[in-house]
Amino acid sequence: MAFEEKRAWSMVLVTVASYAVYLAVVLGRPGDAPLAEAPYVPALLWTVGAAIAASIVLHIALATFSPEDAKSKDQRDREIHRFGEHIGQSFVVLGGVAGLALAMAGLDQFWIANAIYLAFVLSSLLGSATKIVSYRLGFHPW
């Protein structure tokens, strides 16, 4: 397995785990208060920060266990990475548009922040999945 494919798999794991923790914390709040009044900001900041830290630690661990693979990156790896990032960024744009639409509709900050966070999560998952599929099924640049 190529080193960049390992990184894509680790990104999928980190993204799914951190978003699952965020949802568990925000949705698991006791009380009868509306969801939009849940204190989501600390959970959002902590899970995003933890995801960044976990991603860095996993990347270092992967590079430590296969140092020769970590240093080599050929043209195919660069093109797959670029392709995956371009595909994944489409959800960042959709999230920005969704956040803008929610703000113009006058919705609560909770919904705007969560729409944008979900877009970042989907962007990461789609970009990583694109890279994994490209490594597994072959990558043919147009």
pTM score: 0.86
CB 95 within 8 A of CB 119: yes
Q: Residue 118 corresponds to which tokens in the numbers above?
A: 């979900």
Q: Which of 68, 85, 94, 89 is nearest to 134 (CA)?
A: 85
pLDDT in tens, 89-101: 888 999 999 999 9
In the chain, which stretches have pLDDT less than 70? Answer: 69-71, 140-142
Residue with tokens 């009044």: 37
